[in-house]
Structure 1
């Protein structure tokens, strides 16, 4: 059978047509015998030309209708409609031929019997061949799977998997009682409560979720129910990706964190998306980064007049430019893409870019975001994140840019590290500039961790699980907010259109996630167990606590105060935060700049605390140059004592405000 399956497609079609060429005449002759209930040479001679004509007329019709193009292993009940139509057309043609040539005394009974017999023969032959091919398919190394969802998607998936060699469906699961006990695509449907027994009895190795229309929140409930089984869970692609019944195995993906979060996206407001972009010249700084690149991908689909890309990394800039040109080509758009290598600290170049191309909107995503790295390089973090923002903002005012949107972070709220403090300082700078002029409208968008960004814990955990562990976790109580990059970028674009000047927008990140729980669930849904005192198996994954990194908080917050109001978008809120008048802030920034130029780390920290009053460092000075010069013991002992006596951090909550 294997040599037959390896034949070229045309040869397989030729074999099917040859079988019809031989068996359709026999079917017609049997119809004649059934009609007259006898067999005589005269009867055979009378209908001889009709017997010969039956396949000669039917095969071209079948060919035209695509019957021979169907892959036998992947056919379903839809083929019946094609067969009925083909046989009906061929019988009509045969009857017309008999009438016009007067070669046969017309018997409607013969043609009626032949119509039924031919349909039965063609349908039965295809399904018998399909069943035989599926039974002889080598499944010795196949993964035994249970499919959760016995609807149309589950049926299609079971049929497709049975035809392949990678997976062997052994059970279907569904919550609908009317389906339980039925057999679909040759597989019995069970209640989900039977799954633990099925795993043992049928050696189920993986569970495939075949419910592409299910909401994320509903999918999360199912995943929570399956997690205790400690069996690998995968999500199947939408049935639209099943082309000609063929399922690409690589489309069956592992569980992602967005599946675990159970977060349903909100349909974007088209008017908000296009206000600052369509037909305008847009600049994205940090265009090659995780957030900047997604902003660019969404912006180019909104048809700006020009899209300017600014990034200090040559490779990142080249990569995003190529991605955008591919999107442009796919959508047959003609948008001017202009890549610029450079830093936001180059004020003169930035102003020349803004003036030369009459930029309307800026999305400022360029920043150093890694907490430990900025903690070890605080002066460079301040220069890039805070002074870089100020220089770009002043250039925007000089070039009469209409809208400036800063990508901020939840780490700017009551920061305990230099990175978060620089982002809060950037917010204060834009708030001050917003009150000091009316030329450019400044606003800030603050959100938490985005999935898949550089440094995200999720790909790190997955890599560690694949390597057999251990999973490294900084602290058992650490929690974080999470959002997907596309959703965050989409909300940023909408929030920017709502800004009135000096606005701090906060994205609703949902409920914070305990990272230890996240790691545990990722292990269980990978089909593995977490190592513990009661489970010292070599296959179990160890979760090792390595301690908080310099400046790292247990909990992140999105609001400094409680003064927050809704907007016209249900996931975007406007926060009223404390501000510093621009004249006063300028004096403080000058002192901070001088401290940075003199590499006076103690003064730098003092100035950061003076400007950002909520800044409470959780560690001593961690600059690598300072540590080498002063020794690890040179940390500020008084500061550490103060931190030890501080009130423990309480878990914050994001107050929901109706728009």
Structure 2
């Protein structure tokens, strides 16, 4: 029956009703009359009336349209309603044309038998369709016996991907009951199910559960070293972007256990609704999430400004799909461009009358920027300066810089350049400035490019080892959507030159995060206590300029804001003439490829910058080992092309 078309399956059920309902009626009449003798031919009309009052009603109730594999409690209601309606119609017919051979007292018996027959045939058909021989499929329990759990169980019975052996639910009233043929157990029974039933995984069917509650459940499952997967978020299921059966690995955000604070609609709208908004670095992790949230706030227009063609293509395609899915009408423009191309950027701001800029374009990966000092300075400092000047010249209302916790007491070039960029904006902010500059500083975001969570998942899937730099290294973490949402709200509260700091909760030890991810992916940690474990954690040592712990504040001068998770930091700044002089000197150092001078200027301007290593710029190091004769034979043109102009030599710039 599994291979029949849907039309043929309906014909089978129709035939079963046409043949079976008269037999059921005959049995009811026989029992009601106390005789097994079949009524005479004179009352054969009543069987025709029986089918004419039953089959059309069943059609009307959808009993021949329902997908038999997915019959549930709604089908029971439909069967009961259909049978009751058909019996009522038959009773009316028999009252109009009474017959002594068929007493009306037989109708209650027929109603009961018809319910059993019509419902039973469909249940048998569903059982045949859903029957599957599991061969090597992992045995799982479904955590959550509610609607999502039942839908998941029904779906898994079709695919054979997993073999459900029971439900786990925290509702005591459900314990011991049978749902879709599976028993419901308490959470405390999970170890016994692992040992007795060979359970290998837990599927969380709790799409609307809070993150804090989800973390409590994960902590209780973690010691069992079972694979834990979850159904998609409730919003994704409702929007149609995901199905219940699309189980996926537990999101690292669930391990943080912190529920996001509901956004303030007024703060979200202030800089976006009915305004022209531009996002630089629109294809990056943070920039792309800002774009997703901005389009939902109905800007007059959204401009995506991105230097990477592939990243711009991907976010443009994603936004078009999002707008179609959510029936949104937002005009957005995808622009290839570099903020260093000052004339083009200024022209874009002017022609499109941009009112709000979210400046997310930056180099953020600490080791890479440490090895490419000049590009880090060029992009993070000069890119921010050029973009801010263009905003001032075109009278943009609000300019929000996406900063980082690594700008606080930096030990890396990346952190120092981001702190320098903050100082540039603070210096440009004057009472007469037409643009309001704001800075939003936060820590690591889970799932971004370079984040440890995707790397750990990849390493665990390969069989390890998982690499951690140091046993005590810790970081602040936040999910990308939560960080972007807070950025949008913080930008609305700035008065000019403000530094906003997001409440990232408590720092997380990276080694602990690695261990939890190993356990929740169904593996065990291999260490001295468990030499037979699956995955080893290897400590590789801190990378150049990497810190054990990050900070969010310079000093302790901080005040609250209208939002409970956003703080305003009161930090020192420098006057514009001083900043401008350093920028000019930095420009000369870059043109002369003078790495020593550039770092000295960073240390001079960012007083908290304390490098922990020598200069690690790869080109600088390579140039230092070149033979003197080879260096002297390089022509000025070759130097400019290679970017290896010796210190203090003219560049024609």
> Structure 1 length as normaliser, TM-score?
0.90
Asked whether the 8 Å contact 1:435–1:582 carries over to 2, the reply is no
Question: Per-residue deviation at 1:598?
Answer: 1.4
- Equivalents in 1 of 2:579, 2:431: separation in Å? 11
5 Å matches for 1:71-150?
71-100=67-96, 107-131=103-127, 133-134=129-130, 136-150=131-145
Asked whether the 8 Å contact 2:169–2:186 carries over to 1, the reply is yes
Matched residue SS, 2:550: coil
5 Å matches for 1:479-490?
479-490=474-485
- Equivalents in 1 of 2:567, 2:64: separation in Å? 59
One of 356, 359, 362 as aligned partner of 1:367: 362
C-alpha spacing 1:299/1:145, structure 2 compared with 1 (3 Å):
same
- Equivalents in 2 of 1:141, 1:10: separation in Å? 33
One of 525, 529, 540 as aligned partner of 1:530: 525
Q: In structure 2, what is the equivalent of residue 22 of structure 1?
A: 19
Question: Per-residue deviation at 1:128?
Answer: 3.6
- Equivalents in 2 of 1:381, 1:194: separation in Å? 55
Question: Per-residue deviation at 1:477?
Answer: 1.2
- Equivalents in 2 of 1:51, 1:485: separation in Å? 67
- Equivalents in 2 of 1:458, 1:360: separation in Å? 36
- Equivalents in 1 of 2:80, 2:394: separation in Å? 71
5 Å matches for 1:209-288?
209-237=204-232, 251-288=246-283
Matched residue SS, 2:526: coil
Matched residue SS, 2:553: coil
CA-to-aligned-CA distance 1:537-581 (integer Å, 9 cap, x gap): 4x7112111121111111111111111111111111111111111
5 Å matches for 1:605-624?
605-624=599-618
5 Å matches for 1:480-629?
480-537=475-532, 540-629=534-623
- Equivalents in 2 of 1:58, 1:241: separation in Å? 41
5 Å matches for 1:370-381?
370-381=365-376
Question: Per-residue deviation at 1:78?
Answer: 2.6
One of 441, 444, 448 as aligned partner of 2:439: 444
C-alpha spacing 1:334/1:229, structure 2 compared with 1 (3 Å):
closer
CA-to-aligned-CA distance 1:319-356 (integer Å, 9 cap, x gap): 22222222233344443322222211111111111111
Asked whether the 8 Å contact 1:504–1:576 carries over to 2, the reply is yes
- Equivalents in 1 of 2:26, 2:558: separation in Å? 85
5 Å matches for 1:336-415?
336-415=331-410
Q: In structure 1, what is the equivalent of residue 160 of structure 2?
A: 165
Question: Mean alpha-carbon deviation: is it higher for 583-592 or for 407-416?
Answer: 583-592
Asked whether the 8 Å contact 1:47–1:104 carries over to 2, the reply is no
- Equivalents in 1 of 2:438, 2:184: separation in Å? 54
Question: Per-residue deviation at 1:104?
Answer: 7.4
- Equivalents in 1 of 2:192, 2:91: separation in Å? 59
Q: In structure 2, what is the equivalent of residue 185 of structure 1?
A: 180
Question: Per-residue deviation at 1:631?
Answer: 4.6
CA-to-aligned-CA distance 1:492-525 (integer Å, 9 cap, x gap): 1111111110011111111111111111111111
C-alpha spacing 1:327/1:515, structure 2 compared with 1 (3 Å):
same
C-alpha spacing 1:240/1:499, structure 2 compared with 1 (3 Å):
closer
Q: In structure 2, what is the equivalent of residue 35 of structure 1?
A: 32
C-alpha spacing 1:339/1:155, structure 2 compared with 1 (3 Å):
closer
Asked whether the 8 Å contact 1:87–1:119 carries over to 2, the reply is yes
Question: Per-residue deviation at 1:249?
Answer: 8.0
Matched residue SS, 1:384: helix
Question: Per-residue deviation at 1:99?
Answer: 4.2
- Equivalents in 1 of 2:377, 2:251: separation in Å? 34
Name the Cα RMSD after superposition: 2.3
One of 473, 476, 480 as aligned partner of 2:471: 476
1:303 matched to 2:294? The reply is: no
Q: In structure 2, what is the equivalent of residue 323 of structure 1?
A: 318
1:198 matched to 2:200? The reply is: no
Q: In structure 2, what is the equivalent of residue 430 of structure 1?
A: 425
Question: Mean alpha-carbon deviation: is it higher for 395-404 or for 48-57?
Answer: 48-57
Question: Per-residue deviation at 1:190?
Answer: 2.8
- Equivalents in 1 of 2:96, 2:575: separation in Å? 99
- Give the aligned length: 623
1:67 matched to 2:83? The reply is: no
- Equivalents in 1 of 2:317, 2:232: separation in Å? 27
One of 53, 56, 64 as aligned partner of 1:57: 53
Question: Mean alpha-carbon deviation: is it higher for 623-632 or for 392-401?
Answer: 623-632
- Equivalents in 2 of 1:253, 1:196: separation in Å? 23
1:7 matched to 2:4? The reply is: yes
Asked whether the 8 Å contact 1:424–1:612 carries over to 2, the reply is yes
C-alpha spacing 1:44/1:576, structure 2 compared with 1 (3 Å):
farther
Question: Mean alpha-carbon deviation: is it higher for 528-537 or for 233-242?
Answer: 233-242
Question: Mean alpha-carbon deviation: is it higher for 585-594 or for 468-477?
Answer: 585-594
Question: Per-residue deviation at 1:209?
Answer: 1.9
Matched residue SS, 1:408: strand
Question: Per-residue deviation at 1:15?
Answer: 0.6
1:461 matched to 2:453? The reply is: no
One of 37, 40, 43 as aligned partner of 1:44: 40
C-alpha spacing 1:241/1:300, structure 2 compared with 1 (3 Å):
closer
C-alpha spacing 1:575/1:524, structure 2 compared with 1 (3 Å):
same
Q: In structure 1, what is the equivalent of residue 648 of structure 2?
A: none
CA-to-aligned-CA distance 1:570-628 (integer Å, 9 cap, x gap): 11111111111112222222222222221111111111011000001011101112111
- Equivalents in 2 of 1:619, 1:256: separation in Å? 35
Asked whether the 8 Å contact 2:152–2:244 carries over to 1, the reply is no
Asked whether the 8 Å contact 1:148–1:173 carries over to 2, the reply is yes
- Equivalents in 2 of 1:421, 1:399: separation in Å? 28
Question: Mean alpha-carbon deviation: is it higher for 116-125 or for 379-388?
Answer: 116-125
C-alpha spacing 1:181/1:325, structure 2 compared with 1 (3 Å):
closer
Question: Per-residue deviation at 1:447?
Answer: 0.8
Asked whether the 8 Å contact 2:155–2:245 carries over to 1, the reply is no
C-alpha spacing 1:381/1:239, structure 2 compared with 1 (3 Å):
closer
- Equivalents in 2 of 1:192, 1:363: separation in Å? 46
Asked whether the 8 Å contact 1:443–1:496 carries over to 2, the reply is yes
Question: Mean alpha-carbon deviation: is it higher for 419-428 or for 333-342?
Answer: 333-342
C-alpha spacing 1:499/1:480, structure 2 compared with 1 (3 Å):
same
- Equivalents in 1 of 2:553, 2:100: separation in Å? 91
- Equivalents in 1 of 2:237, 2:506: separation in Å? 35
CA-to-aligned-CA distance 1:282-328 (integer Å, 9 cap, x gap): 11111111111111111112111121121111111122222222223
Question: Per-residue deviation at 1:401?
Answer: 0.6
